[in-house]
Each structure stands twice: as structure tokens, then as C-alpha cells.
Structure 1
Amino acid sequence: MDVQINADKKLTDLKGSSDHPANFGSLCVKGSKLLETNSASGRLLSPMVDGEKASWDDAITQVATKFKQLIAEHGPDSVAFYVSGQLLTEDYYVANKLMKGYIGSANIDTNSRLCMSSAVAAYKRAFGADAVPCCYEDLEQTELLILVGSNAAWTHPVLFQRIERAKKLNPDMQVVTIDPRKTATSELADMHLAIKPGSDVALFNGLLAYLAAQDVLDINYISAYTQGVAQVLNNCAPWTITKVAQQCDISELELLSFYRLFSQTDKVVTAYSMGVNQSTSGTDKANSIINCHLATGKIGREGCGPFSLTGQPNAMGGREVGGLANMLACHMDIHNAEHRKTVQTYWQSPTIATEHGLKAVDLFENIHNGKVKAVWIMATNPMVSMPNRQKIAEALKKCELVVVSDCVAKNDTLDYAHIALPATGWSEKDGTVTNSERRISRQRGLLPATGEAKHDWNIICDVAKAMGFTSGFNFASPSEIFAEYTGLTQADNNGSRGLDLSALCDLTETQYNRLKPVQWPVNKSAPYGTKRLFSDGKFYTQSGKAQFVVTEFTAPQQLTNNDYPFVLNSGRVRDQWHTMTRTGKTSELTSHVNRPYLAVHPKDAANLTLKNDDLVSLSAAHFNNAAHFNAEKSQVLLPVAIDNNQRQGEVFAPIHWSASNASSANITALYTDANDKISGQPELKHAAVKLQKVTYQHYGQLFIQQALNVELLRKYFEYFVTSPVEKGHLVFFATDQDPVNIKRNLQLQLPLYDEWINATGTDLNSTCAMRQGVMSLIMFISPSNIEVDPSWINSLLNSENVTSEQLHGLLNMQPDEQFKQGKLVCSCFKVGENTIIDAIKTGCDSVDSLGKQLKCGTNCGSCKSELSQMLKQYKPNNIVIEQDQLIALEAVS
């Protein structure tokens, strides 16, 4: 990324680096808004001990002293680290070194356990190493791209733009999406398979059985480079077309069409993400995909391979240096005595972990039962991201010491911290990251640390030295850590491990600072990196051959029943990132989707007499039979969004909202501890829930110049969601309290607002307040849901010149014509849906023509899929043929 910094050390401009081979200068909407989200507001500026400001020396001493005490009394397994894919590789490296080589426990796990561990386990079983075989170019050079459980248009938007461009240049390229939901990604697809959630193993085992029956297996490749095919083929044989179609709940015609396409296409990439990984059978799902590629030789060459799309910026970097509890550093194994010797000798450490540590779900279970007595959480928010939220809360509440390193002053997890340590954030952090295609990139610190913040690696080293580990942590810069890490990748390697960075071991500080993006391995035989792996048919298994793995279809653990009849799926929205601690700071990114929702199929909505924006409560069976659940605290309350792209009997909710910005919107309480027995990855795509309509006497929207304390909102409103708007804050709310009391409470809370104006009607109560002649608060309360265009309110908030006509229109909720453009679609250029619909109806017949007229879709491109959907819906004389009809027509012809 290229940036400009002014004399005051502030970023003034940024753009994508046109020479970076991953994005070639393209930025998604989140990246393009980094200037807006990189402010110091909301930052943790100094160490905090028991809620009070402390010095660094005091905070570090208290962390080190308590850790030493607990280790002395209860052993090294009584403490743990829970780290994050937001850390840089150098941060990860020293955290892993401290825990496994000096404390002597493997109790360091990462939130990457929640997104990538099933993919990791599958690669290790098949290839002998966590080695992604593909590169991004393969997504452009393939003839058939299969996207499984991935809404890449929203979750990997820059990569998706490369795919869009490739398909535009090569119309013969076929794209298939496999997902229970029809998402924005499906707009690019030639075929969409809306399979039943959790049925992926059946689908791909059936594909392998079909390939064998059609005699299209690559026997030469199988014989030369693989082992175990016979047992796998025997296991897959019962999966007939009929059986697979029934299990996946799709038609046999759809299934056959997909199977034929795979079998008849030479270059195939199957890219998969959270829809595959976040499952109790995620590892088997990934291996069932890999099996099909091995059986057809569609791996290790251009445009081919099974490709896991990483869920975080540095999930792979963390895997490289041992951030997972079941591995040593640099892809070495804890249970391998030679590997343990290599690592301990290289580190010259006093000990080395000999057993796997606790994976994320088990880690918090052991905090809950008191076996783990101290946890240090770095750059992640498990109260929002981990399943079984109430259990996580109980665990952290019981824990003797909770240390949290973060760059924000408040999130749901920080509420439980005994000690909070301020860490640097983007634009300050300095080190490296590794992306999905094994590409290491240099992230350079641009600005000085905010407040008293320190780099994570620096904090870890300070604690290590305070614990008495005087050697091993005397790093002066990230380049020194990188040099040690790359040296360990070559230790006793001799080609046995794919992660080999030996060509980068001796970089000077200047060379490290100038490091260009490069894909590992980077060694003597590949000094400029390696695009794709296994082109020579050599794998990292003991035999050197890839392993076919028997995979079994197993149903998700949280199954629906009469009392809990709906499957809950989860995922991201287009403009938000994880738990919104940064992207949630700006109206630029909240305007596309400004509150959580529950997507419901129209027939399900009709059966429950639900309409758009009705509130529903969601509950799960484990609310009733787990002692740690408090029904009120665990309640999830979401507004309905009727969505024809849902399968009937299934609902979808986004993951981003939490107790920091909503009354009851964090959905992780609905998921149990169910996780994959091999990878430990939780099942975050399949909960069994029931829905119940909830009504209140009053619904409203409050626009206010200043932020209101969330705890205060809990007193006022039974339901609320907060969201930033351009000139203040927006609160959606619902309540049974009388509007008169709400206004009285606000007046007591906001005494500096010196002029209050009210208008009361049959169906609408309106209030606005001035502060020294400036419009500072606007509120609407109604017996039913109301929608107000934030851009209209922004034109009045903070204004000293509100006319009597504007005030009359405001109190009667009658915006000027210019503020009736509807829901925002293009965040970059603030183009609303009504404006786009009008342009379509008056002649714009393509995404490109909409871009020329309105500019929408011409910057980050994240809204292109939505524009495509709108074109299909509103284009005059447009006849839409559904996919099942098209398949039927093809069969007839």
C-alpha cells in the first residue's frame, strides 16, 4: 500500500501498491477506508491494571510475577496464550517461543483455529504438511473454478475482482458456486448448487465415485504419486447419484451437470473457505475435495488444485511459526522427538513442549473448570468470536488472571481483563504477513505508536525477560526475529519440510525493509520463491507420495427437531471485518449494512407471520440444559430480512455485532462447543434454533451528535443497535417504555442540550434538541418500524441554519426529494438503490453502464455483485430463467 504522510505525522492519502502481485493496486472498500478507520479515537493508550492506568514496568511485572507463581504452584499447563491472525509473523514467533520453549507448555492457540485448522489438518493428512499447492494466478488460468462455502465477493473482494476480470477475458471459463445460500458470489456463477448444509462430504465422495464409474481417473498420476486410492474408492462406491442427490437435497440433473463438468474439464481449481472448514467434519470435507483432485491429477500444475482461502490477514504466518497448539514452529511436530530436538537446540531453550496443548474450545473449557488459571489474549475478541458465549464469559470471570493485549480501549473481552496492554495497530506495526498463496509480504510501520502502545513482539519479550528468561528474547527489531525464524526453517531440513526460507536467512536490516513479496519455499533451488507446489509430484509425507484419505459423511452435531426446526448459518457482510472494532468506527463502512439481521426464506416468514424488520428472538436447545446459561443474557434478538436466496428451513445472521454495540445481537451464544475431532475447529455454520416473534409498543431511531454509553442504552431500551453516521451516531431501538419517559430521561442525561422541540401525533413522536443553536439530537418514535435516510439527518445534524420548513419536515419525517435514494449500495460513491433502479429503468443495462453514469462499482468493485442482482431484478423486459429450469432445458435439448 502506498501512503502519504504530512508534517504532523498523519496519513493524508493512500492507494494500493500497483506492483504487489496479490492485488496489483486494487483495494476492497475496507482497505480504501483505512484513513477513516485509523484514527486514535477508541484506542487503548496506556497499560491498565484493574481498570486503573498503570506504568509499563508495573503492568509487565504483574503479568510476569503472576505467571511465574502459577507455573511454580500448578505447572506450566496452568497458563495459556490465545493469539490471533491479526498478529504479524514476528509477534507470533516470539509468543510461540516463550510458551513452548521456555514455559514448556504447548498451551498457545489462535483464533485461526476458528477459520483454518480443518484446512490445515486436511493438507497435513494428504500432503504431509500444511502446504497450500496453488497460487492466485491459478484462479485466473483455470477452466473451471469451483467455489465451495465461500462468499468471496464479500469476504475476498480483491481476489474476486481478479476472478471477475479473468472470466470477462475468457468467457469459456466456468464458475460453479456450492453454498446453501445464493450469495453475491453466485452472480458470477454459471451454476449454483444450493446443497443442504453439512453435506459436502457426500457431494465430493459422490463425485469421486462418478469419476471412477466413468473411467476418467488419472491412473498414471495415481500410480506414480499417490497411495491409498483403493480403500477410498471402495468407501465412496455406495454414493450413487440418487443417494448423493437425496443427501444434498438437490436434483439429480443439477448433480450430474456438475459431475460432468468436473470430469470433462482439464484445469480445475476448487477453492473453499469457512463453509467447509467451520464444521464438525471440516477436515473430512477438505480431504474429500483433495481426493478428487489427486484422483484426476488436477494438482501441481497451472490452473489446478484444491485451494483453501484464508480467513485472516496472517492466519498462514501464524501457522508457519507454530501458533497452533498441536504443532511446533516451522511446520515441525510436537510428537516427533527429532523435531523437538531441532527446535530446542536451535532456540537453546531450557525446555520444549512434548505434548499437544489445548485447542481453542478445550482451552476455554479448561479455563472454565479451573485447570488453566491465567490466559493472555492477544489481538482477538473471543467473547464475540468463540462459540458458547456465556460459557466463555463464565470462564473469563472465574480466571485468576486475564491479560489482554489490544489496540482498542473497549470490546467485549476487555471487559474481563485484569490487565490490559496497549498494542500498536495498522500503520504502526512492523513485520511480515503470509497470505493464502504462501506469499510473504513486508508490512512496514508508517507512523509512531499511538499513546504508550508497543509492538506485540516487544511486549512479549518484556514479559519473558521479567519472568527470568534473560536470553532468547533480546531482539532489538523485527528484522532480528525474522532472521531467527528463517534460520529455523532451514535447521535439519534438507528438503524434508516445504517451509524453507533459507534464502532469506542472511538479510541485512536494509534488505529486510526492502523485502519484496515472495512465495515459499524460498531456498537455493528457488531463490525467487515458488508459485505452486507439487509440480514434480513430490510430497512431504514419509513415502514422498500424496495420501488418499477415507472420508465419512457425518451429520452436524446440532440437528434440528420439532422444537428447534431452523438451521442457523453465519458469515460476514460486505463492508465489515470480524468484530467491528475498527471497521465499525466509520459511517463509510456501516452505511451498506448498518445493523444485524436474520435472513429468512419468504415461505418461512409467511408461516411465522413475519415481515421485514419484525424482531425475532433466537434460542437453542443448550440454553435449557447448561448450567452456565442465563436465558436473558444469552438472548439473541434480530430484525428479519426476508430473502429468497435462503433455503427454506434455514436462516442466516452476520457475525460482527456484539455487546459493545447492540443489546442482543451476538450469535455465538447459539453455537455449542461441537468441533471437529481432528482439527478442533468449532461448528460455526450449523446451529439448531427456534424463532419467536417479539413485539414492543414503540420502535424508533435516535440520531445524536455524541456517543451514548451502551450501559445507559440498556436502561432505556429493551432492544438497540448503535451505528456511526457521518455527523454523529444512530441508535435503532425498540421498547415498551413510554415515549414521554424516554424524552425525560434523555433530557436528564443531556443537560447541556438547551432547547427541546417535540411533535406528537397519532403514529409518530418526533423530538429534536439544540445545543447553543446547533441541531444535536433527532429522534423518531412510532408504534411500528420506521426507516429514515441517514443522509437526510446528516444534512441537519450539527447545523446552525435549520429553516422552519426543514424543521417542519423533520418533525413530520418528510425528507426533501434529494434524500430519497434508498438503501446505500455503493459505499465508495454513496449511491443508493433507488438511484440505481431509476438508472436501470431508463436504459443502463450493464454494470459497466451503471458505473459510467453513476460511478458505482468503479472504485473498489465490492458492490458489483449487488449491481448485477439489481440489473436482473429491474431491467425492463428481462426474463429470468432459474437454474433448475435451465438444466431441464439442457437435458431436453
Structure 2
Amino acid sequence: MNTFEPPAIRTRDAIEDIWGPRTPFKDEWPTRVDSACDEEPETWVQSACILCSNGCGLDIGVKDGKVVGVRGRATDRVNKGRLGPKGLTGWKAMHSEDRITYPMVRKNGRLERVSWDEAMDLIVAKSKELQKHLTNHSIAFYTSGQLFLEEYYALAMVGKAGLHTLHMDGNTRLCTATAAAAMRESFGCDGQPGSYSDIDYTDCLFMVGHNVAATQTVLWARILDRLEGPLPPKLIVVDPRLSETARKATVHLAPRAGTNLALLNGIQHLMFKNRWINEDYVSAHVFGRDDLEKVVAKYDPETVERITGVPAMQLEEAARIIGTSKSLVSTALQGVYQSNQACASACQINNINLLRGMIGKPGCGVLQMNGQPTAQNNREAGCNGEFPGFRNHQNPTHMQELATLWNIDPIQVPHWNEPTHVENQLSYIESGSIRMFWISCTNPLVSLPDLPRVRRLLTQPGLFVVCQDIYMTETAAIADVILPAAQWGEKTGTFTNADRTVHISHKAVEPPGECRSDLDIFLDYAKRMGFKDKDGNDLLPWRTPEEVFEAWKKVSAGRPCDYMGLTYERLTGGSGIQWPCNDKNPHGTERLYSDGIFPTGIDDCESFGHDPETGASYTRSEYQSMNPAGRAILKSCHYSPPPEEPNDEFPLRLSTGRKVHHFHTRTKTGRTALQKACPEPEVTVSEKDAASVGVCDGEVVIVRSRRGAVELKCRVGGIAEGHVFMPFHFGYWDSTDGRARAANELTFTRWDPISKQPYFKSGTVRIEKVPSSPSSSSNNNSTLPNSPHIREQQSAAVCQAGTKSASDTTSAADLAAHRERKLELWLGETYETMVQLQELYATLLPSLVRNPEVEGGLRVLHRIGEEMRSALHPHVQRYHGGGRISSRGRAHVLRDALFPREEAEAGPSSGSESLRSPVEVLETLQALQVYLSHLLASLTALQPAAQALWDEEFVEAVGKGLKAVGRMQSWVGQQINVRSSQTLLVPVTTE
């Protein structure tokens, strides 16, 4: 590894002077160009920084074909020439001697150098074998927040249009999924309403779980300059830690971790109570006001104080500032997104601006921030739980648009559900139904929660792991195939930052060795796989990034993220440009929703939304009944405690997060001088909690949760009592002492019900003093003075991976030989339920309920049921190989439980309904409704399976069945409704 040398030419030591000198201002942020070079460049190449989500424009300095420095772009709207410590220093990782520069394949347990042809041929052979024996749904992709837009779009087409799989997610799930989900819930679509320039004009900044001083240093410099200029804004910060951001706050609210929703409900309670609501704006442009007011009515300051620990007076002061300021910018990041009730809480932040009518105006807006530089592109292109162009998978028109653009049959667009988030992908790996896992530009063996489980799953026999990266990360070390990727500065592409600013990054130097761009790798895979459109042409026909960009523009056309007015030429030479950029907005769009019209129309919205408490998706009809029709939606939700609360055994609440000098898992920053500034992880604990276990500042301690334990230094102070904080950046690739230190050894596998983002800021731990006598190694009786008490398990995972060989692992054919597909059984059971239902209609029910109206209705239901059964029968014959199932399955068991045969046989054979009591008639109708619900659930499960089979006739038959059952349930419900009041209210004789 290279030694760390300071740059020869620099405007400041950004590692020590993180935010640079102040340039106080009002209205227009002054320009200041930051630079750092080892020597004077010969040429400068336009790019932007990709080491946080801010997206600062910069130029890459090149000399003799080598990157020798960077400088901020004075013309760029995002940073006005400024760069932070990562931007000024992180580029030096390009020169690290431990780059992966050639493909590798695991042979006889060892990773060995191979040619690109051998590596790609192996991946393609595995893919086709899995396709044949275990279907396309045995292949999954897990990507990054650091690729270029063009690369994401190519990957989305590989997965969604080539393999037609839903198993596509990215590590943006860990940092930005809640941002996207909250904007879909509130505004109808992803995309930040606000702009960085709103900070220049606002009277109030409301930052919830957003330590901007550490996560977006240049943006914090902008805020510091406002705070030191004339008419500084009020700053309200919500954070359990006394962060650098919180130190500058007008009001610092430090709630207990996991109680954000109660706090935000409390602020809204006070806004309603004090009439700090723009009623005219809300009446014209917002939906859901009354429901929200009812929910937050219960969150008075005293109640909020009991839940959150925030003093009532502090809450009232914060609400007063928010409620009376002339303008308001609200921001959020991981303190919201990775915490309890994440999406519901993020929506409350949107609510606050909507209630004030402060959207789409200078100095007013919401920035649901991203954690990674190209997270926005991941979402736009459809690699992180979305569909390209912010399309709604429940909207047939949107899916037809994609099919037309890709020239494939509509049924081949995998739209039967939301794409599979990474925790469900891991569950499918655990169950054995995903057998190939392609990881690009991310490091899940450090970044995912509950690392003991992740290591076990990703090293299991039979799982084929492809890792596409630039260094030998913890994840690459256990892979079966490693593909060496080109990185920033070594390829061309575009990316979009957290306020929708699109930048271009031009190739400055050649990648080392045999490295290829991620785009070239995906295009090569598509070609080798033979992906074609329905006319027999190459599905991904492009050769250059610009060709992909032009294709992407057509996908974005007419959608909120419209790129049609952008070109490589327009993006080159000046500033980044904010989307949407089109004929209507030829110079880009600084703020969204300035006209008060939101993309919530049923034909426009990206999602029909979810129940904020359960996470259940709303159907098209449910959304239509709400009819937001271009209005924003106020989502309301009651507070629920976090899933893991402190107790005597684990009394402290754990939060993980970022440090200012590092990014993600330190793949780049850990190979630069930034590492010296932050060389190891530490756990932060309050003075009182440290004293309670007798530990001092700087002492090595053990932090233990229900999942695992780590051993690291303790820092005392700067955090609320009852909390501990650990940085998540540190894994084991550069560890030398054998101690467990990754924060995710401690975290648990729970996620938000809507965004599916893991709860990294929930869970409980305890602090332990390290035993006074060091532990001994298991194979040596002597005591080792520096032996770790909590040993890392990454080395064991690498050894486990070493027992595998990519070329001779169990074949998909062998795996398939020992498997049974469950479609046939489920289909047979569903059909048998229909047969039993017909028998109920024909014989049993008429004997139990003797009433002319009921008998007439049952005849109609029998006819509808026969049409339903007849429609499904050919597909039962095709897939199940027969008619009725031979064994007595759920259909028979449920029928016998609901309609006992002895009761039916004892029923009247003649006469009128009066021969059976009215309540018995009601019970019989209730039993029929239960049986129909069983059939409805069976058909609901078959619907996405039929779509995944691309069997349009099967899809149609299942659809007919669902419609038929719905009609039956409506009839039964009406009969119950008509009879219930008289039957249940009028007393009857008990003799």
C-alpha cells in the first residue's frame, strides 16, 4: 500500500480544516476554488466528486496519463468551486498498489488469475444452467450508489428486460430507500422538491437526523456561511448526539433513538393548536388534513416528552420557530431513514412543509437527502426497488411503455410485484432458491446488518457469487468470480446528486491492467447471453456511454425525471443542470411543484402508496377512492416503540453512522491520508453510562448485542444518556490485530415496512470492561498480551469460501433433481377448492339455508363458479397433470371445519328458513365468506406466478377467478348485512 504523503500544491489542509474559511453572504454564495495537486497538471478534465451525495463539480488534473490532482469548478451551481476533505483527498486512492487489475476465478478453493473470456464464459454458463433448471428467478443482482446513470440503466435492462427478474437491489437500500419512499407517499413520485440554493434564502433550517457537517461537508460550509452572514436563518437540529451540526443549532432536540415519529407528531400538534397552518394552500393543494389533525391531537408536549425525553419547552420553541418563520427548508438523512418507523417519520417532515405551504418557493422546500453520490440514478434507472423512469408497476400503461421502449412483450416486463429488496434476497439465498448473486461496486460483508448471518449465507456451498469491484474488499475475498472494474476518472458517464443536479464525468485516464468499466461488463454479459428483443435485435445494442444516455432519455421522456433536454454537449463546459430538463424547462428546473400541482393523479403517480403503519400496499381502486388528483398527500401515523427496547441485560440504544473523513466501507478513503485522521472505530457513550460500568475515555471496551460483540476504544461524552454510537465504515480488509470491530456485528435484521430500509439506528447493546487478564489462543497455553477478547470472523468466512470451487460446485441440474416445484401442488389445491365450492352451492348450502332469495342467489353463484372452474381447468391439466388432487388437502379440511357433514345431514329436507334459527343462517353465510377468502388468497398467490411464467392465458384465467370470487363475496356480504341487525338485536327465546 502506498505511504500517505501530503499534496505538494493545495489551497488548504482539508483534513484538518474540514469546512474551509468562511465567506459570509446573503442571497448569493460567493465563489471559492479549492484545489489539491501533487504537481501541476498538463490538462484538466471535467468531472464531479463521488464521495458523498452532494455532487460537487470538479476538474481532474492529469499529467503523463496519471491523475495528479483536483480542483473545484467555480461555475458549478452545487459547490461554487469548493471541495471537502474527501473530494480533495479521496482521488489518491486511484494510485493504490492493491487495485484488482485482472479477472479471477476460484479454483480448488483459491482465487486464480484468468482471462476475461474465461471469467465471462463461466458466468454465462452458470446463468444459462440456472435459467434452465431453476428459472431466471434463481439469479439476483445487488449493486451500488456509486455507478453512473448509464451503467445503472444497462444493468436494469439486463435484469428486467433480459432475465425478466425482480431480484434487483442496491446498497442504496441501506441509505436512501426511505427518501424515495417518503416522496412517493407524499408527492406521488420520487425527486427532491427543493434545491440547495434554497439554503441561500431561507429563514429556517429544520434538520432531522441529518448531521450535514459530517455527511455533506461542502453543503455545511454553505450553511456556516449563511449563519455568519447578515440575517442568518434559525437552525433546528434533531439528533441524540451533540454533533458539529447540533453545536450550531438555535434549538437542539435530542430525542431517544427510535422516537422521531412521536416528536414530529408533537410539532404538528402544536402547529394545528396555534393555527400555524396555511389553510388556503392546504385546501387547494393538499389531501388528508383532517385525518392528520385527529392523529396528532394525541401528541401534546407532555406526552411527547414522556416518549422522546425532549423537554416540552424545547419542543414548543422549535414548533414556534417552524410555525412562524417566513420560509422553511427541511432536510433528513439516516437519523430518520435508518430508524424506527422510518418512512412514516420522513412523511411527517414532508407534512410540516406542506402544512405551511412552503414547497416550490425560494427558500422553501424539502430535501430528503441521499447518502451516496449516484443513489438518485439508481432509483431513476430502476435498480433499487423501482422501475425505470419512476414508473408504477401497478399501472398497466406504465408497464406497456417500458415494453414498447424495450421492444419486448408486455408480460415479460417483471411487474407482478415490487423488486426484491436485499433482505428478501438473503432469505431466498438461505432457502436455496437464489443460487447466483452478482454484486457490483459494494461491500455487503461490512455494510449489511447482522454480519454473522450475511457471512454464513454468502459463503454457503452452491451459491455462485460474482463480485465486480476495484479493490479486494471483504466481499470480493469470498467471491467465486472477481471482475476488475474501472473507477471514477477512468470512464465516462453522468450522475445526479441529491438536489437533482446532473453532472457529466469525462474519462481522464486509462484504467490500470485489464480493468473494464461497469458499463462494458454489463454490455458484454448481455451480448454473451444473447439477449434479444422480439424482432431478434440485440436488446442492449450500445457501445458507448453516450448511446446509452440517449436511450435513457427516451425512457425518462414525459416522466418527472425528464432528461430530454440534456446532452453530453450541454453538460460539458459549464455547471450541472437540474432535471426535469425538456422543452418546457430548457435550462432545468430549480424547484418542483411551484404551481402546487403534484404527480398524484392515478395515471401519473409512481406508487399508489401504503398504509404507513402496516406497510400494506394500496390497490388502484383504493387509491382511486382517495382521489388525490394532483394534490400532495398528508400521511398520518401513530407512534409505536422500536422492535428492540433497552432492558437490564442490554440497557443502551445503538446507533451507527458516518464519520467526516470516511465514506461507506472505506474502500477508497481508507487508502488515503484520510485514514490517518480516523484510523479506527470508536464507540461513543455518555459520561453517566461510562461511569456506570467503570470505563474511561480511550479505554478499550467490549460492546455486545444479542447478535454478536466487538472490541474497540471508548469515547466518553457528546451523546445523550442511554445511547451509544459507532461508525459503520470499518471492516477487516486492513485490520491487523484480529479484533472484531465492524458495527454490523451488532445490528439486527429488521426493516421499515414501506421502504424496506434496515433499522441500523435501532437495537440495544451493553458496554463491558475488558477482562484484566488477556484471553489465550485456543491452540496455545501461553498468554498473549495483545490477544483480542472478541475475535473477528471474516477470516473464517474467507476460509469457508476456500472450500468452494467455482468450476466444480454442485450443478443446477443436480440441485433441480432434488427439488420439487410447489406451483403444481398449489394449483391443484386451488382447483380442488373450486370443486368443493361447487358442491357446496349445489347440495349443502340449499339444505342449510332454505330461503327463496338465498336459493336463487346460490344458483347464480354456482353458475359463476362453474365458469371460473372451467377457465382454470385447462391450466390445471397443463401444469398439474390432472384434475382433482388425490390427497385430502386444505380444501377438504377447511370445508369439513366450516360445514360439518353431520350438521348438514341433520338439516331440514323441506319447509322454510324458519326451521333453522336466524343466527345459524348467519353463521352459515359467515362460513361461506371464510371459504371464499381462502379461495381468494389461493388465486392471489397464483396471479404473480402466472405472470412470471409469461402465460397470458393462465393470467387471464386467474384474473377471471379473482373477479368471480369478488362477486361471490359481495353477494354473501350483502346477505350478512341484510340479516345481521334483526338477527343480532331482537331477543329470541332460549327454550
TM-score, length of structure 1 as denominator length = 0.75
Q: Which residue among 623, 645, 649 is the counterpart of 1:563?
A: 649
In the TM superposition, residue 12 of structure 1 has moved relative to its aligned partner by 2.2
**Shift of residue 332 of structure 1?**
0.6
Q: Is the 8 A contact 1:40 1:450 kept in 2?
A: no
Following superposition, the deviation at residue 3 of structure 1 comes to 2.9
Q: Determine the C-alpha separation between the residues in 2 that align with 1:412 and 1:291.
A: 41
Report the equivalent of 1:26: 82
Preserved contact between residue 774 and residue 787 of structure 2 (Cα < 8 Å)? no
Match of 1:616 among 676, 680, 701: 701
Q: Mapping of 1:255-266 within 5 angstroms?
A: 255-266=315-326
The Cα shift of 1:719 comes to 3.3
User: Does the aligned pair in 1 maintain the 2:684–2:719 contact within 8 Å?
Assistant: yes
Runs of 4 or more, structure 1, over 3 Å off, are 509-516, 695-699, 714-717, 719-722
Pairing 1:812-891 to 2, within 5 Å after superposition: none
Q: CA deviation at 1:511?
A: 5.1
Identity in percent: 29
Name the counterpart of 2:392.
333
Structure 1 distance, partners of 2:91, 2:664, is: 18
Q: Secondary structure at the match of 2:459?
A: helix
1:135-161 per-residue CA deviation (whole Å, 9 max, x = no partner) reads 001122110101111111111100100
The whole-number CA distance in structure 2 between the counterparts of 1:253 and 1:216 is 17
1:165–1:172 distance in 2 versus 1, CA, 3 Å? closer
**Alignment partner for residue 749 of structure 2, among 669, 673, 676?**
673
**Matching of residues 387-426 of structure 1 within 5 Å:** 387-398=449-460, 399-408=462-471, 410-426=472-488
Measured in 2, the distance between the counterparts of 1:361 and 1:515 equals 41
* Mapped contact 2:380–2:387 kept (Cα < 8 A): no
Tell whether 2:450 aligns with 1:384.
Answer: no
Query: Is residue 722 of structure 2 the alignment partner of residue 637 of structure 1?
Result: no
Residue 224 (structure 2) pairs with residue 164 (structure 1): yes
* C-alpha distance after superposition, 1:202-243 (max 9, x if no partner): 111111121111122111101111111111111111111111
Partner AA of 2:588 in structure 1: G
Question: What is the Cα deviation at residue 32 of structure 1?
Answer: 0.8
Aligned to 1:79: 139
> 1:609/1:304 Cα in 2 relative to 1: closer, same or farther (>3 Å)?
same
Residue pair 1:64, 1:464 contacting (<8 A) in 2 also? no
Residue 400 of structure 1: how far off its partner (Å): 2.1
Residue 270 of structure 1 aligns with which residue? 330
Q: Which has the higher strand share?
A: 1
Aligned partner of 1:70 among 130, 137, 145? 130
Alignment map for 1:85-164 (pairs within 5 Å): 85-164=145-224
CA contact (8 A) 2:161 2:408 kept: yes
**Which segment drifts farther, 469-478 or 569-578?**
469-478
Aligned partner of 2:292 among 229, 232, 240? 232
Change (3 A) 1:23 1:297: same
- Separation of aligned partners in 2, 1:305 and 1:343: 31
Instruction: Give how far 1:613 is off.
Output: 2.4
Q: Pick from 765, 787, 805: which aligns with 1:718?
A: 787
Q: CA deviation at 1:117?
A: 0.9
Q: Which letter maps to 2:646? A: T
2:546 alignment partner AA: S
AA partner of residue 679 (structure 2): N
Q: Structure 1 residue 485 and structure 2 residue 552: aligned? A: yes
Aligned partner letter, 1:16: G
Q: Which of 686, 697, 708 is residue 601 of structure 1 equivalent to?
A: 686
Can you give the 5+ residue segments of structure 1 that lack an aligned partner in the other structure?
Answer: 624-633, 700-713, 723-893
- Residues 1:533 and 2:592 are matched in the alignment: yes
Matches within 5 A, 1:342-741: 342-349=401-408, 351-354=412-415, 355-398=417-460, 399-408=462-471, 410-470=472-532, 471-490=538-557, 493=558, 497-504=559-566, 507=567, 510=569, 516-542=575-601, 543-586=629-672, 588-621=673-706, 623=707, 634-643=708-717, 645-662=718-735, 663-695=739-771, 717-719=786-788
Q: Contact 1:661–1:721 at 8 Å: present in 2 too?
A: no
2: CA distance, partners of 1:66 / 1:278: 36
What is the deviation of 1:635?
Answer: 3.1
Give the alignment of 1:748-827 within 5 angstroms.
Answer: none
Q: Residue 103 of structure 2 aligns with which residue?
A: 47
Distance 2:516 2:785 in 1: 38
Contact preservation (8 Å) 2:162, 2:539: no
Secondary structure of 1:329's match?
Answer: coil
Alpha carbon RMSD of aligned pairs, Å? 1.9
Shift of 1:721: 13
Unmatched tracts of structure 2, length 5 or more = 1-57, 533-537, 602-628, 776-782, 792-991
Between the aligned partners of 2:687 and 2:432, the Cα distance in structure 1 is 46
Distance in 1 (alpha carbons) for counterparts of 2:186 and 2:685: 38
Structure 1 residue 174, shift from structure 2 partner = 0.8
Matches within 5 A, 1:159-198: 159-198=219-258
Query: Does the Cα contact within 8 Å between 2:571 and 2:577 map onto a contact in 1?
Result: no
CA contact (8 A) 1:79 1:373 kept: yes
Tell me whether 120-129 or 209-218 shows the greater mean CA deviation: 209-218
Distance 1:558 1:276 in 2: 17
Distance 1:411 1:427, change over 3 A: same
For the structure 1 residues 721 and 565, does the alpha-carbon distance in structure 2 shift closer, same or farther, using more than 3 Å as the test? Answer: closer
Aligned position for 2:270: 210
| C-alpha contact (below 8 Å) 2:652/2:722 kept by paired residues | yes
Q: Could you tell me which residue of structure 1 aligns to residue 625 of structure 2? A: none
Quote how far apart the aligned CAs of 1:171 are: 4.2
Question: Counterpart of 1:651 in 2: which secondary structure?
Answer: strand
Q: 1:716 to 1:40 in 2, by over 3 A?
A: farther
SS of 1:557 mapped into structure 2: coil
Match of 1:785 in 2: none
8 Å CA contact 1:280, 1:682 repeated in 2: no
Counterpart position of 2:68:
12
Q: Distance in 2 between matches of 1:130 and 1:179?
A: 25
Shift of 1:279: 2.3
Distance, in Å, in 1 between the alignment partners of 2:134 and 2:571 is 41
- Cα separation, 1, equivalents of 2:418 and 2:133: 21
Could you list the per-position Cα deviations for residues 571-624 of structure 1 after superposition, in whole angstroms to 9, with x for gaps in the alignment?
1111111111111112x2122222111111111111111012222222222x3x
- Among 277, 282, 289, the residue aligned to 1:222: 282
Q: Is the 8 A contact 1:280 1:681 kept in 2?
A: no
The alignment partner of 1:61 has SS state of helix
C-alpha deviation, 1:510, in angstroms: 4.8
Aligned-residue offset at 1:98: 0.9
- The 3 A distance-change label for structure 1 pair 149 and 510 is closer
2:95 aligns to what SS in structure 1?
A: coil
Which AA in structure 2 matches 1:290?
A: N
Q: Which residue of 2 aligns with 1:865?
A: none
Q: Deviation string for 1:646-686 (max 9, x for gaps)?
A: 11111111111112233211011211111001110000012
Q: Distance in 2 between matches of 1:117 and 1:672?
A: 18
Aligned residues: 684
Quick check: 588-597 or 602-611, which moved more?
588-597
TM-score (norm 2): 0.67
Letter in structure 1 aligned against 2:761 = K
Q: By how many angstroms is 1:84 displaced?
A: 0.5
How many angstroms apart in 1 are the aligned matches of 2:722 and 2:696? 16
Q: Which residue of 1 aligns with 2:838?
A: none
Report the Cα distance in structure 2 between the residues aligned to 1:189 and 1:110, rounded to whole angstroms.
34
